[in-house]
Structure 1
Amino acid sequence: MKQFRFLVYGKDERQRCLKEILENRGHVAKNAEESSAGFFDAILLPLPETETFFGKIKEELVPGQIVFGANFGQSVACQAKEKKITVVDYMKADGVAEKNAVSVAEGILAEAICAMKENLCGSRCLVCGFGRCGSRIAERLAACQADVDVFEKEDQKRQAVEAAGATWRPHADPGAYELIVNTVPQPLFTGQMLSRCKKEVCILDLASGNGGVNLEICKAYGICAKRCPGLPARYAPKAAAKILADVIEKEMDVRKKGE
């Protein structure tokens, strides 16, 4: 395998592990503080702050480079095209989103156990959304013997929800739960919904963008609520980094063979 040169941005544990894994595989990997971006074959941006970092370093990038990150917006794609660089979204690689969802689900259990005033076992939990992350979260909560409801409007997901050990709910009363996990990137939990929640409820928001929970209103009501980005980097950094390293090496080899 050809040796490549990587510049690693970000200081979270996942990025530190990623640098170490690539070095152990025979590549050159440097922290961003050590060098300029122009000397490297590829730039490795952190999740979930890819776009923020891209905006800071775009003037340093040179034609032919590859920039790895996640959830690149259309504006980044346009800028990359203008500079003749390639952007690679980790989450669009085969199997990555599924593997990442496992780490997210385990991280949510850790967050819930630390924040809740009740045991997970026997508690009533609501998971909003039954996509990649929501489905794994519901499965794991049910495995902890929690009473799990899934708020999901798509009726065709009902069978999968029940197979996960949860109950499908096209509507849900937020006041019935000790734990609420939101994965839906829409403003679901605003004033009216939050006013119906128990004071001792714990709300964990995984939704992308601006999230789906109004944290200011939660604070005013005395509700324990938290945004939870980047859980794999906090709870399973080595496993998360290995997933990214595999994507990076595969992508670099494919592009090298195409030259």
Structure 2
Amino acid sequence: MNRQTILLISDMRQVYLAEIMTKRGLNVRCLDIRNSGTVKEQIEKLKSFLAEADMLILPIPVTKIPEQKMLNDILNKNLTNDTLVLGGCFSTEQQELLERRDIHYLDFMKDEIVTEENAVATAEGVIAELVNHSPYNIEEAKIIVTGYGCCGRAVAARLKALGARVTVLARRREVRKLAKKDGFYAADFAFGPEEAMGAAMLVNTVPAPVVTGAIIRELPRDAYILDIASKPGGTDFACARECGIRADLALGLPGKYAPKESAYILDRAVERFVRKEHEM
């Protein structure tokens, strides 16, 4: 690539990613959107920068950019067809925009390798959040993990290694069988209220309303709920507040707890994507 890579910085992942890509010889131009007072000015610069861009890398999730309508308008009017676009959790509107313009793009969060590698950093971030906010030790604590995808598996495994008594809640029978094979007690969400009794912590990984009022009302008042699913999460936060139970939606844990490792994960994904595009 002989032109520019435009990188929007929303957290330390992108700071490290810019360093890594620059060392690889790419011409990286950064737009820092972390300051709410200057974010519009930074996004406005995209209008002129995109004309010279081989690649545009947006945050994870893309919704970290506060001016979504402004961003979408600029992308629609200023993106050229040969600019590759990368980011995390594109909105439906953004996906349709890119596909309508025949612009090739990668959603980092739909890349299987990124998802698997990111799950490790996410799980370690979960441990840090639980230690920081729960009044209980993890060892010997009864902890519910909802969902058993990449993140659910990684979280459950690390909690088990720390001595927790982990219960996995999952809808699909085959997923529960896998969790049981891995050494966990697993149950359907229908048994969630029963399993919630005596649980010190609950970690949700499902981006759907699965941590319902029926489950929350059976939790002890000093339980801690950590929701790491994409916005708006899968927890009835209003019910948690009514019950006096702390419930946090914690997004971007890799960027918070392992930003440099996360940057290397993203850089490898960029290289794979660019290589694939060149082979087409």
Superposition TM-score, scaled by structure 1 size: 0.90
1:236 — aligned with what? 258
Pick one of 172, 192, 204 that aligns with 2:214. 192
What does 1:133-144 correspond to in 2, within 5 Å? Answer: 133-144=151-162
**Cα distance in structure 1, aligned partners of 2:92 and 2:259:** 28
For structure 1, which segment, 140-149 or 74-83, has the greater mean C-alpha deviation from structure 2 after superposition?
A: 74-83
Shift of 1:238: 0.8
Residues 57 and 117 (structure 1), Cα distance of their counterparts in 2 relative to 1, 3 Å cut: farther
Q: Please, which runs of 5 or more residues in structure 1 have no aligned partner?
A: none
- C-alpha spacing 1:223/1:94, structure 2 compared with 1 (3 Å): closer
C-alpha distance after superposition, 1:102-155 (max 9, x if no partner): 111111011101011010011110001111110111100000001111112322
Q: What is the alpha-carbon root mean square deviation over aligned residues?
A: 2.1
1:39 and 2:52 correspond: yes
Identity %: 30
Number of the residue aligned with 1:110: 128
User: How much does 1:76 deviate?
Assistant: 2.1
For the residues of structure 2 that align with 1:164 and 1:222, how far apart are their CA atoms? 34
Q: 1:141 to 1:7 in 2, by over 3 A?
A: same
CA distance in structure 1 between the partners assigned to 2:19 and 2:60 by the alignment: 17
Post-superposition offset of 1:163: 4.0
What is the aligned partner in structure 1 of residue 140 from structure 2? 122
Is the 1:135–1:164 contact (alpha carbons within 8 Å) kept by the matching residues of 2?
Answer: no
The 1:20–1:167 alpha-carbon spacing in structure 2 relative to 1, beyond 3 Å, is same
**Contiguous gaps of at least 5 residues in structure 2:** 32-41
> 1:48, CA displacement in angstroms?
1.6
Structure 2 partner of 1:81: 99
In structure 1, how many angstroms separate the alpha carbons of the residues matched to 2:177 and 2:209? 26
Which residue among 178, 186, 206 is the counterpart of 1:168?
186
CA contact (8 A) 2:10 2:64 kept: no
Give the SS at the match of 1:248.
helix
1:91 to 97, 104, 109: 109
Structure 1 residue 101: Cα displacement: 0.9
State the partner residue of 2:82: 64
Give me the whole-angstrom Cα distance separating, in 2, the residues matched to 1:190 and 1:254: 42
Q: Distance in 1 between matches of 2:50 and 2:218?
A: 51
Q: When the two structures are aligned, how many residues end up with a matched partner?
A: 257
Shift of 1:197: 1.5
Match of 1:151 among 124, 149, 169: 169
Deviates more, 1:237-246 or 1:152-161: 152-161
For the 8 Å contact 2:168–2:176, the answer to whether it is kept is no
Shift in Å at residue 91 of structure 1? Answer: 3.0
- Paired AA for residue 12 in structure 2: E
Instruction: Please report how far the alpha carbon of residue 3 of structure 1 lies from its aligned counterpart in structure 2 after TM superposition.
Output: 5.2
What letter corresponds to residue 104 of structure 2 in structure 1? T
Q: AA paired with 2:24?
A: R
Instruction: Say yes or no: does 1:55 pair with 2:77.
Output: no
